[in-house]
Amino acid sequence: MAQLAPGYSQIGFVSKQMGVPVEGQFRKFDAQIAFDPKKPEGGTVALQIDMASATLGVPQSDAELPKAPWFDTARFPKASFQSSAIKGLGGGRFDIAGRLTIKGHTQELVVPVTITQSADRSTATGSFTIQRLAFKVGEGEWTDTSMVGDEVQVRFKLVLTGLRPL
């Protein structure tokens, strides 16, 4: 079982507000990874994200994110990803299929992941795009995508210890 190396991993997101990219991040998350890079088909990846830890780095915006139109953290404190299949593509690249759940809404997706290894650490990086409205993120007046775009790019860097060599 691989473990997250504390303080090194990042999960960020980029949305467009009035056409301008705005970057944010989640400061708290956890992962359970049981995965042999040489036999990826039998592996599993589970991730839980503390939605109240989201920040855009602007206090006024950060105060809005936990509210009901956005993440509704009182009712839905965590988002999750649970893998259903892992496919090795060679060269440290993998496709991880699974279910992403945000605000009680679930979507199937395939996440491309690249793993690099050095010394006792492995780094899994990747990005994928979701449609925020499919998860009811930004309800009411915020469904207007001219203000906040529907596409959100999620980027991650998970630094792990205990992953078997590639």
pLDDT at site 127: 97
Q: Please name the residue that has the structure tokens 């893998």.
A: 83
CB neighbour list of residue 115: distance below 8 Å, 6 or more residues apart: 37, 92, 93, 94, 122, 123, 124, 163, 166
pLDDT at site 49: 97
In this structure, the number of other CB atoms found within 10 A of the CB of residue 68 comes to 14
Q: Tally the C-alpha atoms within 13 A of residue 79's C-alpha that lie toward its C-beta.
A: 26
Alpha-carbon gap, residue 11 to 79, rounded angstroms: 12
For the record, the structure tokens of 30 come out as 């956890």
Give the predicted TM-score (pTM) of the model. 0.94
Alpha-carbon gap, residue 94 to 83, rounded angstroms: 12
pLDDT digits (tens, 9 = 90+) for 100-144: 999 999 999 999 999 999 888 999 999 999 999 999 999 999 999
pLDDT at site 90: 94
Q: Which residues of the chain have pLDDT under 70?
A: none
For the record, the structure tokens of 60 come out as 């006024």
pLDDT at site 6: 78
